[in-house]
Amino acid sequence: MRMMVRSVNGKMAIGWAKESKGCLSSTMTRASNTWKDNQSSQILLSPPLVTLDLPDIWAANSTHYDPPSGQKISNVQIGTVINGKSIAEEIRSRVASEVKRMKECIGKVPGLAVILVGDRRDSQTYVRNKIKACEEAGIKSVMAELPNYCAEDDVMTAVLKFNEDPSVHGVLVQLPLPEHLDEEKILNVLSLEKDVDGFHPVNMGNLAMRGREPLFIPCTPKGCLELLIRSGVEIAGKKAVVIGRSNIVGLPISLLLQRHHATVSIVHACTKNPEQITREADIVVTAAGVPNLIRSSWLKQGSVVIDVGTCPIEDPSSEFGYRLVGDVCYEEALRVASAVTPVPGGVGPMTIAMLLCNTLDSAKRVYGFA
């Protein structure tokens, strides 16, 4: 069964020697305070990435190693549900207020174009929700729908048309595309300045490089990060495991967590002992697309779990004939983790909220609107 992202998941273990924690903590605190002082007009809590960049300071003779200890799974429900829906609604409300202010001040509104290829039910649902969210926020939306077996040139023609439209500030190609289409070739045609999904190679490259700031951070990873920050989860110095190595979620969220000073490992379908590796993590972000892959035995007591996996399961009683479930066995996770995102109602609404934020930012940049 496929999910909203292509591919199942990679291993990249980055070991850090024990750092000078006093220096790290004080520098992070100063950066955080500076950001908060200037953040009154901002919508999100996550700071610009360049404000987080620190020099790597290695201890001289560090042999720090904490072997995993045996864990006892509590039968008492202790996990907090991270309500992505309510957090996303708050962000969308602030976006709508900014769009209204823009319209009143300069007579312009942000515009988003969506290109949908094929008849995947999950993609249709995502696009439908994005268009609805734009309407509610006052953002202009247009859509190009193409058949499953359309030619590559047809998709690129649609992209180029929106690239040249001055009323469109963001262009989104709904992924995954049908297998006969060259995804990389199509995304390379997309204007960097309108890449609100954040998948352009330049945006991804700037996300990966210290001292660089991408124009746009991919929406789902950006939403995951915002959920962690708003839930008060400490990221710096923590062990994080990302399950999945897709260009859409796995790769960018691993880069984003590293920019926030987590120690990141990536687990994928070829990883040996994925359960053991995941069980050592303080933060787990999973985007495998395998229903109930992550059981309680995979999780460290008190960990934080962000479930990006969105899998359509046949359900005749549902409005659209299916329902969505995640990678994580939710009921089990609540008995082990300190906080868990549900599916639906967790990361999904945040992805759309981040798309609106990116589109608004793009329009502000074009019009010089502060």
Which residues carry out catalysis? 130, 174, 197
- Identify the DSSP state of 148: T
Phi, psi (rounded to 5 degrees) for 307: -100, 105
Structure tokens at 325: 């479930």
Kindly report each contact of residues 275-282 with a partner whose C-beta sits within 8 Å and lies 24 or more positions away, as own/partner.
Answer: 276/68, 277/11, 277/13, 277/241, 278/241, 278/243, 279/68, 279/71, 280/68, 280/239, 280/241, 281/239, 281/240, 281/241, 282/238, 282/239, 282/240
User: How far is residue 317's CA from residue 314's CA, in Å, rounded to a whole number?
Assistant: 9
Alpha carbon dihedral 328, 233, 255, 364, in 10-degree steps, equals 110
Task: Please name which of 67, 71, 66, 70 lies closest in space to residue 336, comparing C-alpha atoms.
Answer: 71
Ordered strands of the 283-286 beta sheet = 80-81, 339-340, 304-307, 283-286, 239-243, 263-267
Structure tokens at 46: 């996550």
User: How far is residue 291's CA from residue 280's CA, in Å, rounded to a whole number?
Assistant: 22
Determine how β-strand 311-314 pairs with β-strand 239-243. unpaired
Beta bridge partners of 264: 240
Note the helical H segments in the chain. 21-37, 84-106, 121-137, 152-163, 183-189, 201-208, 219-230, 250-259, 274-278, 330-333, 347-367
Sign of CA dihedral 357, 240, 7, 347: negative
